[in-house]
């Protein structure tokens, strides 16, 4: 079994999904073999169980002494272990207390080879793991009060509410503004050695108990509370700010870890919605440092549904992070247009001072921050531009496995999209603009011919690049406009104003389906351009050969002039002056080529393009609304991921109110207009009123 766990810990997350079921079956077979070995080796099994019972009795005695006289002292002869691997930037040394606790944990877990079946032993192991974690990290890598074991009346009342399933008392605790960022201390032992179950909080936070109240052989918490009501309590605790989805860090018994152990995708989705970092690692059992991921926790119990959810959310987060830095790129593109428009040749006396000259620190620091991928690629909260806030607070969180994101396959997948290539070009161009705009109009060494050529080329780029960037951003804006496929449905008027005629009412319709149609036509233009390029270049070569055979130095403008005239002929601007320099048979051949090009390009290809447009329009219009509904759902998920966590006190913030309004309008629109794809992509009339 240990070999299987070691293999799991060394397996990449992406490889866990298809092998989860097989791994789970292998684990069952391994546990069966262990049980058979224990049954065959009766003496050995009896000795192991005896040692476990002895260790448990020793733990009970030590806990009883601790309740009366404080924590037990470590033996004086116990040597200090070597330092464990560092966590973050702070290392955690294994003290004698940690070594003693690890020895006790090893003795207890020796009896759990056949599974976690003895509830009292499981409680004891959880107590020891809690004490080991506190001794190892609290006051070192974590603050002194981060994981307090202090027991108060408020904590006892809340724990009693969990044990009795008193939903009213739990909601009262949430509404009171009390923080839930604490862990219930280990339950004490009575004089007879029995555990005081009225104070058994399993060394977990209240949020972790909400996420996993029923854990097999342990006493069930929240009796009589339904699944829907439990999820509602989780959402209330998170939305009010009473609980942090990531508390406690590195601790194995965290809410996210228990959701993965249990396979509760709904609870995990709620935690993730309120900021749970799916990539964090926890310290499992006696690991020297936090290296047990949530994916390992899900695969440990064979929960393939959690692994599938995490893989899908990683894709959405990756797309969402790219969405955020694109908007940051948009801001900087406008900054370039405003700050550097008059910044060429800043050393000239008549040049107007630009933003970069009046506020160089702001511009340079902002552009430097833009180059930080950690600031851009974040699964941040707070909406657009949250990456800079998170980076400034040293809380930036990269999305997606970094090993894959920067691998050859990851980069190939990223730059497989033309939009991502365009965005990368924008980022590089913005970083190149400041040095280009400080170029003088004339080089310092005007006598060097090669230096003059290089300088002239660089100066030409500096002059034209800002304008080209604005044009490329306008092209990028076509994809940004797809955002309004959803905003167009927000707050539709119940009654149309009487002064709006039907044509004007069409302007109020959502532009989403129209954008789908435009994108389909742009694809047709690209294909048509590939076909037309062969015709254009073929006739251009023919005209070029005629001018070369004339034997005279004709001033016809060269090959670029031929291409320019051909494009003008396609647009009905026919001018035969290009052929005036040809004489005799060459002129006659030129006339034949001219009329052949006109017939083939203008009457055949251009009309073919119009026919293709009509076909595309009809085809896309039949499916545009269905495609738009799918894209609208993607935008809804993006809005959901960008909702900031409200402040403590339960007051709803502006993004959350916006999202609530959006969901309300989305539900109304979906109930009245949702469709399903029928045969051939046509909407099915039987799906009216069905929500997506």
Q: Is 195 helix (H, G, I), strand (E, B) or coil?
A: strand
Distance, in Å, from the CA atom of 468 to the CA atom of 428, rounded to the nearest integer, reads 14
Cis status, amide bond into 248, omega within 30 of 0: yes
Q: Is 83 helix (H, G, I), strand (E, B) or coil?
A: coil
Distance, in Å, from the CA atom of 287 to the CA atom of 290, rounded to the nearest integer, reads 7
First to last CA, the chain: 44
Distance, in Å, from the CA atom of 97 to the CA atom of 75, rounded to the nearest integer, reads 9
Beta-bridge partner residues of 251 = 283
Residue 376 sits at φ, ψ, to 5 deg, of -95, -40
Question: Strand 292-293 and strand 281-282: pairing?
Answer: antiparallel
Q: Quick count: other Cβ atoms within 10 Å of Cβ 469?
A: 21
Classify residue 142 by burial, with Cβ atoms within 10 Å: 0-12, 13-18, 19+. buried
- pLDDT for 667 equals 52
Tokens representing 539?
A: 């006739």
Whole-model pTM? Answer: 0.41
- pLDDT for 661 equals 56
Q: How far is CA 4 from CA 7, 9, 11, in A?
A: 5, 9, 11
Positions in the chain short of pLDDT 50: 1-91, 317-359, 362-363, 366-367, 369-402, 483-510, 641-655, 669-692
Distance, in Å, from the CA atom of 534 to the CA atom of 637, rounded to the nearest integer, reads 44
Q: Quick count: other Cβ atoms within 10 Å of Cβ 454?
A: 12
Cβ neighbours of residue 174 closer than 8 Å, sequence gap 6 or more: 180, 233, 236, 237, 240, 242
270 contacts 302 by C-beta, under 8 angstroms = no
392-408 burial, b if ≥16 CB within 10 A, otherwise e? eeeebbbbbbeeebeee
Distance, in Å, from the CA atom of 128 to the CA atom of 98, rounded to the nearest integer, reads 10
Residue 292 sits at φ, ψ, to 5 deg, of -100, 110
211 contacts 234 by C-beta, under 8 angstroms = yes
Classify residue 217 by burial, with Cβ atoms within 10 Å: 0-12, 13-18, 19+. exposed
Distance, in Å, from the CA atom of 676 to the CA atom of 683, rounded to the nearest integer, reads 5
- pLDDT for 208 equals 92
Q: How far is CA 483 from CA 204, 487, 488, in A?
A: 42, 7, 9
Strands (E), 196-339: 281-282, 292-293
- pLDDT for 508 equals 40
Q: Is 36 helix (H, G, I), strand (E, B) or coil?
A: helix
What is the DSSP-derived secondary structure letter of residue 281?
A: E
């Amino acid at each position: 079994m240990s070999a299987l766990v070691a293999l799991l810990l060394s397996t990449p997350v992406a490889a866990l999904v298809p092998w989860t079921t097989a791994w789970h079956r292998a684990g069952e077979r391994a546990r069966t073999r262990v049980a058979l070995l224990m049954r065959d080796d009766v003496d050995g099994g009896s000795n192991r169980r005896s040692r476990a019972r002895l260790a448990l009795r020793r733990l009970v005695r030590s806990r009883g002494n601790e309740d009366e006289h404080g924590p037990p002292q470590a033996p004086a002869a116990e040597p200090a272990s070597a330092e464990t691997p560092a966590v973050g930037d702070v290392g955690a040394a294994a003290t004698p207390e940690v070594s003693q606790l690890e020895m006790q944990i090893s003795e207890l877990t020796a009896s759990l080879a056949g599974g976690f079946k003895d509830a009292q032993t499981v409680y004891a192991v959880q107590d020891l793991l809690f004490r080991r974690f506190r001794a190892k990290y609290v006051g070192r890598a974590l603050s002194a009060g981060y994981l307090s074991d202090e027991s108060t009346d408020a904590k006892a009342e809340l724990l009693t509410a969990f044990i009795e399933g008193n939903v009213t008392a739990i909601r009262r605790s949430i509404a009171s503004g009390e923080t839930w960022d604490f862990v219930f201390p280990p339950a004490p032992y009575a004089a007879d050695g029995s555990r005081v179950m009225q104070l058994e909080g399993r060394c977990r936070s209240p949020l972790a108990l909400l996420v996993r109240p029923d854990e097999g052989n342990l006493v069930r918490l929240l009796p009589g509370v339904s699944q829907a009501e439990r999820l509602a309590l989780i959402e209330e605790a998170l939305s009010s700010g009473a609980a942090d989805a990531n508390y406690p860090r590195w601790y194995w018994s965290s809410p996210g870890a228990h959701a993965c152990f249990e396979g509760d995708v709904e609870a995990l989705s709620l935690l993730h919605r309120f900021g749970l970092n799916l990539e964090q690692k926890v310290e499992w059992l006696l690991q020297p440092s936090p290296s047990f991921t949530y994916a390992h926790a899900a695969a440990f119990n064979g929960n393939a549904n959690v692994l599938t959810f995490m893989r899908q959310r990683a894709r959405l987060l990756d797309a969402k992070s790219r969405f955020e830095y694109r908007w940051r790129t948009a801001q900087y593109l406008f900054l370039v247009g405003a700050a550097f428009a008059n910044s060429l040749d800043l050393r000239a006396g008549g040049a107007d001072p630009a933003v970069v000259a009046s506020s160089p620190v702001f511009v340079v620091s902002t552009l430097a921050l833009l180059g930080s991928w950690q600031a851009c690629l974040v699964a941040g909260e707070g909406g657009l531009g949250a990456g800079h806030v998170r980076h400034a607070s040293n809380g930036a969180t990269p999305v997606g496995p970094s090993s894959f994101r920067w691998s050859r396959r990851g980069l190939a997948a990223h730059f497989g999209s033309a939009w991502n290539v365009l965005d990368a070009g924008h980022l590089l161009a913005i970083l190149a603009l400041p040095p280009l705009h400080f170029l003088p109009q004339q080089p310092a060494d005007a006598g060097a011919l090669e230096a003059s050529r290089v300088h002239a080329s660089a100066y030409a780029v500096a002059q034209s690049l800002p304008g080209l960037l604005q044009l490329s951003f306008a092209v990028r804006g076509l994809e940004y406009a797809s955002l309004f496929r959803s905003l167009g449905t927000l707050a539709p008027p119940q009654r149309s104003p009487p002064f709006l005629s039907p044509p004007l009412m069409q302007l109020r319709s959502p532009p989403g389906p129209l954008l789908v149609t435009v994108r389909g036509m742009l694809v047709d233009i690209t294909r048509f351009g590939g076909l037309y390029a062969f015709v254009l270049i073929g006739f251009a070569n023919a005209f070029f050969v005629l001018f070369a055979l004339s034997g005279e130095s004709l001033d016809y403008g060269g090959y670029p002039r031929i291409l320019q005239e051909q494009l003008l002929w396609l647009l009905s601007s026919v001018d035969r002056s290009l052929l005036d320099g040809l004489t005799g048979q060459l002129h006659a051949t030129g006339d034949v080529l001219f009329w052949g090009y006109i017939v083939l390009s203008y009457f055949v290809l251009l009309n073919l393009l119009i026919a293709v447009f009509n076909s595309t329009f009809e085809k896309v219009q039949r499916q545009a609304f269905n495609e738009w509904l799918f894209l609208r759902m993607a935008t809804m998920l993006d809005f959901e991921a960008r909702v900031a966590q409200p402040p403590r006190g339960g007051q709803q913030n502006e993004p959350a109110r916006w999202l609530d309004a959006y969901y309300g309008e989305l539900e109304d629109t979906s109930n009245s207009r949702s469709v399903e794809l029928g045969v051939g992509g046509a909407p099915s009339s039987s799906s009216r009123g069905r929500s997506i």
